Structure formats: structure tokens, C-alpha cells
Structure 1
Amino acid sequence: MSNDNIHDRGMKKWYGFLMPEHVAETKQMWIDSQKIKMPLFDEDRILEFEQLIRYAKDYNLYVDLSLFDDGFERKLFGYIRSIDQLKKEIKLITEEGIKIVRFDKILNVTVID
């Protein structure tokens, strides 16, 4: 008998030995291992973010915001509609609509000319 006719199912054959709880726990452990911590920024970096945001708003320029979202980095692209210093928020016009971004969630600001 030749080995050419054998169809190996690979890892699928071992999934029957794993309980659903173990699979879910393993997936959660992998997700947790991918998370990042929110960095602490010095005053110069925060001032730089504020200047870039103000510049982008004043000249109606497209921005790329990197945000901290529950341990992961998320990107938002759009135009800054308004800046609320009291609430410490930015209203960003995106393709999906208006998004409100809190200052303390910003990881990076890139102005696209």
C-alpha cells in the first residue's frame, strides 16, 4: 500500500481532545499576550500632540490618530471638527461619521498634508 492515498487531517484530528473551555482559555491567553500598556508621555510630547491637533484643525488637514483601545492600538483617520478643552475631547469627522476622541487615549498624531 502506498502513502500517496493517505489524507492527513493535520491538527484537526487533535481538536477532539480539547474541551471548548480550554480552546476559549487558550484564545483569551493569546489575546492578552498581544495587549500593550498605555505609555506615559512627558509634557513635551503632550504639547507636541496639542500643537499638531491645533494645526490640523486650523488648516483643515487630514489626521491619522493612533489610539489606545483596551490594550490595543487602533487607528482613526479624518478631519478635526472641534476641540473641547474642558471635556478634553476632540470631535473627528471620519468616513463613518463623527467620532469623539478623548485626549488621554491618544498614542500618536500624524498630520497628512
Structure 2
Amino acid sequence: MINDRGSIKWTTMMLPEHAELLRELWNEDNKIKKPLLDPQEMELMEQHLQTAYLDKLRTEFTIYSPSALQTVTGTITKLEQQTKQIHIKKEDGTRLPLPLQLIVNITIKK
């Protein structure tokens, strides 16, 4: 039986610049696009945001980053209209500023 090493056997024939370019292309393929929100979803998110802030409710935020969607759970401590940020106190006690344009979904936890 032939023991094939796949693409590993070809890396010795590549220049380091070419290998780096391939890594960058593979990383580019793994990026995700930011989901588009319709006006109704944005309205609902704004209502959840106001309710969570006024009632100091535990909330889960889904945040967009190019590599993946992340979730952060905590309570909103501050809303900044000028900078369009919210400040979250996470469950472990750390505080996190969060730009509003990165939020994809808001869920109020019970």
C-alpha cells in the first residue's frame, strides 16, 4: 500500500513566500460575511437593548468578527449614544465595551 503524505510532500518545493501566500488564502476562505439585518430585526434588537438596560437583565449578545460569530453574556452597565457603544459587565465581573455595529443578535436570558 502506498503511504501518501498529501500536500505535505509539496511544501519542500515551495518558496517560503508561496507557502505564506497559501496560508493567507486559506484564512481568507474561512472568513464569514456579516449577516444583514432587516429593519424589523433592528427594531426588535433595539427594544431588547432598552429593556435589558432599564431592567438590568442578563443578556446574551451575538457579536460579529471576521472569523466567527461570538457570544458574550452579561448585563448592560452603560449606553453611549455619541460613540455608539454599550458597556457590558460579564458574568465573571470583567467589563467590556462593545460597538453597536458589531451586534448581530440580542437575547434576554431569564
Normalized against structure 1, the TM-score is what?
A: 0.75
The structure 1 residue matched to 2:73, chosen from 77, 80, 83, is 77
Q: Which residue of 1 aligns with 2:50?
A: 54
Asked if structure 2 preserves the Cα contact closer than 8 Å seen for 1:38 and 1:71, the reply is no
| Alignment partner, residue 33 of structure 2 | 37
How far does the alpha carbon of each residue in 1:29-82 deviate from its partner, in whole angstroms, 9 at most, with x for none?
A: 111112222233222111111111222223322222111224642322221111
- Report how many aligned residue pairs link the two structures: 108
Instruction: State the distance in 2 between where 1:82 and 1:106 align.
Output: 15
Cα distance in 1 for partners of 2:84, 2:44 equals 16
2-structure distance, mates of 1:14, 1:40? 40
Shift in Å, 1:96: 6.8
Stretch deviating more after TM superposition (98-107 or 56-65): 56-65
| Equivalence map 1:1-113=2 (5 Å) | 10-11=5-6, 12-70=8-66, 72-94=68-90, 95=92, 97-113=94-110
Query: What's the C-alpha RMSD, in Å, of the aligned pairs?
Result: 2.5
Structure 1 residue runs of 5 or longer lacking an equivalent are none
TM-score between both structures, scaled by the size of structure 2: 0.76
Q: Distance in 2 between matches of 1:10 and 1:32?
A: 24
Identity of aligned residues (%): 22
Distance 1:13 1:37, change over 3 A: closer
Question: 1:17 and 1:74, CA in 2 relative to 1: closer, same or farther beyond 3 A?
Answer: same
Distance 1:84 1:28 in 2: 36
